[in-house]
Amino acid sequence: MPQVMEFKLPDLGEGLTEAEIVRWLVAVGDVVAIDQPVVEVETAKAMVEVPCPYGGVVTARFGEEGQELPVGAPLITVAVGAGGAPAAQPAQPAQEESGGSGNVLVGYGTDHSRQARRRRVRPVTAEVSAAAVPAVQAAAPPAAAPAAPVPAAAGTGPVPVISPLVRKLARDNGVDLRALRGSGPEGLILRADVESALRAPQPAAAAPATAPVAASPVAAAGERIPLKGVRGLVAEKLSRSRREIPDATCWVDADATELMAARAAMNAVGGPKISVLALLARICTAALARFPELNSTVDLAAGEIVRLPAVHLGFAAQTERGLMVPVVRDAQGRSPESLSAEFARLTELARAGKLTPADLTGGTFTLNNYGVFGVDGSTPIINHPEAAMLGVGRIVPKPWVHGGELAVRQVVQLSLTFDHRVCDGGTAGGFLRYVADCVESPAVLLRSL
């Protein structure tokens, strides 16, 4: 007798609580193997394929492409042991607790400590045959449209909402979650329900008969764009940085003529090409070795500054999905050639939407080359919970006093935003001055190696 197993959207890790269905990879009636990807979802950090830990016949799908689902919401049901289906793995208690095979997301591996916190998958006791699959599909509830708010009974149990982002959205906009009927499974309140409540017409306040109320220009003409996905994550991260970090910025102009000449000479001898960003990254790692205060983080709970032993260098990459900050691991031990190759690899993955959350987290210092946008300067916002970010403007010909004479040189503006809790201006100025000296005379970097 086949057993119908319900597979729910798994814990995506890295604090992610919801995902948007981008593309279904299976249809109702398809036979799937254990750990076969069944749906492609987009989180606030990356696009990933979700494998199903059960093998059998797909009997139902929950959610349409473009719909957001919270972690724990049903994705599909699978008839394990149905005719024509591959044999499923034996149902072991440990597997049942961890969600089947344990391979939750491609490229993530199995995190047993995280999976142990998941709710046990509940088998559905129903007989399913190949002929009965269409009937199960018809019985599956369709994706519900966002529901308008309805009066709620006072003092009735906990609010059925999982996602803390949904709670925050409701709290920030004054929406009473108890007044909503959730469109998710078992009445679960989704982001779409809160957004629907925000769009719903509000009862107009009584106005004097002799004073007609003029329509608000914002309400009449404004366009509302949901602050979600990458944009929502960036907004939350930058807001947290501004709330928690007392930052300050210093900047300096530098003559990059010798650096550009050194790069041209290095690329002229053959071999892998070296990017300007890679040379700046190599300079940053050398500067952080001299000023380790800036490769640190603040532990507010312990009241301590934590200096980090390795430099995991984040760099800003603009993509169609928005600003991404991939991280180059152990940048302090990489050559300019290795840094160039890693920057190129991560940038390509970012533009293809294939970065994993692991590629986007764990940074200790960020390098932001905003000169690619044709601007000279900026005041970067620190990538929380890091302690500093170096910004680099465009490198352009400008008048410059060189060797006591006026000349046209390749000039760049460098700006450093730093957490004033980890160091004072002397340290930040020393770091920035060392970076500028290396840009102006690459031999300074060679002497320090």
Q: Where are the alpha helices (DSSP H) in 48-163?
A: 93-98, 112-115, 133-139
Q: Whose CA is closest to 307, among 387, 240, 363, 389?
A: 387
Integer Cα distance of 338 and 274 in angstroms = 9
Query: Is there a catalytic annotation at residue 384?
Result: no
Integer Cα distance of 68 and 163 in angstroms = 11
Checking 86-91 for CB contacts under 8 A at 24+ apart, the result is 86/31, 86/33, 86/34, 86/55, 86/56, 87/55, 88/34, 88/54, 88/55, 88/56, 89/34, 89/55
Sign for the pseudo-dihedral over CA of 281, 286, 287, 293: positive
Strand partners, 56: 32
Strand partners, 319: 322
β 365-369/313-315 pair status: parallel
β 388-392/365-369 pair status: parallel
Give the up-direction half-sphere exposure of residue 118: CA atoms within 13 A in the CB hemisphere: 28
Q: Are the beta carbons of 417 and 378 closer than 8 angstroms?
A: no
Active-site hit among 112, 312, 402, 420: 420
The two three-digit tokens of residue 291, written as one number: 């000023």
Residues labelled as active-site residues: 420
